Amino acid sequence: MKIKRIYSILFVQVIALFGLSAQEVRLPLDLPVSFSGTYGELRGNHFHAGYDFRVGGRIGDPIHSIKDGYISRISMSPSGYGKGVYVTHLDGTCAVYGHLSAFTDEIEKLVRKKQYEDESFSVNLYFNQSTFPVKKGDVIGKVGNTGSSVAPHLHLEVRDENGTPFDFVNEGYYDIKDNVPPIFQRIKFYSYVDTTGVPETSFLLGFDAPTSLSRVIELPEKSYICIDAVDKQAGTPGRLAVEHYRVLLDGETIFDFKVGEMPSYKGLYIKSLIEYGESYYSGMDMVKSYVEPGNALRSHIESKNSGLIILEDTLVHKLRVEVRDGQNNLSAINYRVKRGNKVQPKGVSNDGRVPMFWNLPNVYRADSLSFAIPAASLYRSILLNVEERRGFDPNNNIYSSIWSIGDYLMPMHKAATIHIKADVPDSLQSKALIMKLNSNGVESAVGGKWVNGGVQASVSSFGTYYVAIDTIAPQLSFSFKESAKVTSRSVIYARMRDNLSGIRSYRVEIDGKWALSYTRRGRIEIVLDPNRFKRGKNHKIVVTAEDSRGNSSRIESDFYW
């Protein structure tokens, strides 16, 4: 048992000494339990911190506090948890309820008041234990689909006294019956070569819907395995989290990863745990047995030879892959493997590429480019390839060389600093920015500022970059006709789009007063608040917007409400 959990138990025992008792917890919803997401689920760039309760596609079901405590925080945001309620319990734990459609009436009024005071949709309010005490079962809000949510559901997570989310279901909060084991979706093998001192890997072979094989699989001397598995539970179609991954060679464990308690600050290291290229290309988050030296999830991993499958002879060896869910249901695949002369990984040579070491700061410099990578930004050392292509073409908005830097399938943990010199007239230098080309040739804005004859910016990945300028203001339009009657509505919409550098800020005013609004899926949703604007009369609405290069636009219209 972990020390922090012991502290919680001792705290509950202390409460009992003073005549109180440790509580049983109740379910947050008056609905049959069914999950669409569980704790520890792989989510590309983080681990899922709680449980997603299915609600049958409905919005508005009441949400109950699972324990006695008090509302310690309210959050309001167009992204993340949207409308979120934080309830701190007597034992020091805190339950987070996310994506609500509504708070209680009293809290809704406080939030709205704070939004108008700050002229901001996003607000956070904090309370002490005497302001909003709650009993187990009290209604604290309603199920919704706000924030970064694609369908109605309740996200519930429980954090310990240090703020670390933990798997509250499998630690006994609820008795969830589950005898369905995880399923393997895909297995892939990658070669590993380190003859230059800088490792390189390449795909060897893979299996969809894999099962145990009787035939012998031939592998090179060094390789590793990637595992795509999901858990299943009766009563839900959800693809849920696997808690435990294990790989054995001839009965000896070479890789063992357990999700366990995952602090939020470690979440980004998931990019080292998974085979990042598979995630980038196909969205498959495949756990790889190879443990990179810069992977800070090592406290959750036991390994031998960094999780590599090392075949030092030509004998047949037994390879076993195991996955378990939080209820300890097991699935396993058995392979027979041997070192084969026919399996040759790609040759590796330092063909002009520059070594970049994972534990050191690294800088690449050319006449018109610098690229600086902080220490511990890489998960393993690499050979960096940089290619300069002719680019300067103002007719196509290209004002520098086009630089291809490194392998975009190699993740970075910390942002690098890039500086590209450019031939931009003095009058347009404030409009210059760095652009990125992805593997499909699609452009995205990076931004940056003009420094020392070029643009400097922070970038979070390798890729292809160049300098462009943005002199075009954002495009704005209303989704209703001028002077339209919108009597029955509580929300009206405006469309906002920028051609290049992206929206930096926008503002909505009705009758000269700031109006509450937020952006969602590419449009502005404007709240018509009867406590702020009188109904049954004509109103004037004005929307202004500015992009990240300072280009601004404005539209206005009359409407009746």
Domain with CATH 2.70.70.10 in the chain: 3-173
Model pLDDT, residue 483: 60
Task: Give CATH 2.60.40.10 domain extents, the chain.
Answer: 183-339, 475-560
Task: Compute the residue count for the chain.
Answer: 561
Q: What is the pLDDT of residue 75?
A: 98
The class (CATH top level) of 475-560 is: mainly beta
Residue 17 confidence (pLDDT): 30
Distance CA 379, CA 357 (A): 9
Domain with CATH 2.60.220.30 in the chain: 354-469
**Architecture of 3-173 per CATH?**
Distorted Sandwich (2.70)
Burial code of 1-25, b = ≥16 C-beta within 10 A, e = fewer?
A: eeeeeeebeebbeeeeeeeeeebeb
pLDDT of res. 5: 44
Give the whole-angstrom CA distance, residue 154 versus residue 63: 8
- Interatomic CA distance for residues 473 and 493, integer angstroms: 20
Q: Give the number of other CB atoms < 10 A from CB of residue 398.
A: 18
Judge: domain 354-469, CATH 2.60.220.30: yes
Of the candidates 224, 231, 175, the residue with the CA atom closest to the CA atom of residue 201: 224
The per-residue pLDDT for 391 is 84
C-alpha–C-alpha distance, residues 274 and 258, integer Å: 14
The predicted structure's pLDDT at residue 18: 29
User: Three-state DSSP class for 98?
Assistant: strand
Alpha helix stretches (DSSP H) within 218-341: 270-273, 276-282
What residues pair up with 366 in beta bridges, in sequence order?
369
pTM of the model: 0.90
Spatial separation of the C-alpha atoms in residues 443 and 467, rounded to whole Å:
12
- Which portions of the chain are predicted below pLDDT 50? 1-22, 347-348
Distance CA 545, CA 551 (A): 8
CATH 3.40.50.720 holds for 183-339: no
In 3D, which of 395, 396, 482, 402 has the Cα closest to residue 437?
402
Residue 297 tokens read as 């999830």
Distance CA 478, CA 119 (A): 21
Determine the pLDDT at residue 23: 57
Name the burial class of residue 439, with classes exposed (0-12), middle (13-18) and buried (19+) by CB atoms within 10 angstroms of its CB: exposed
Tell me, what's the pLDDT at 195?
Answer: 81
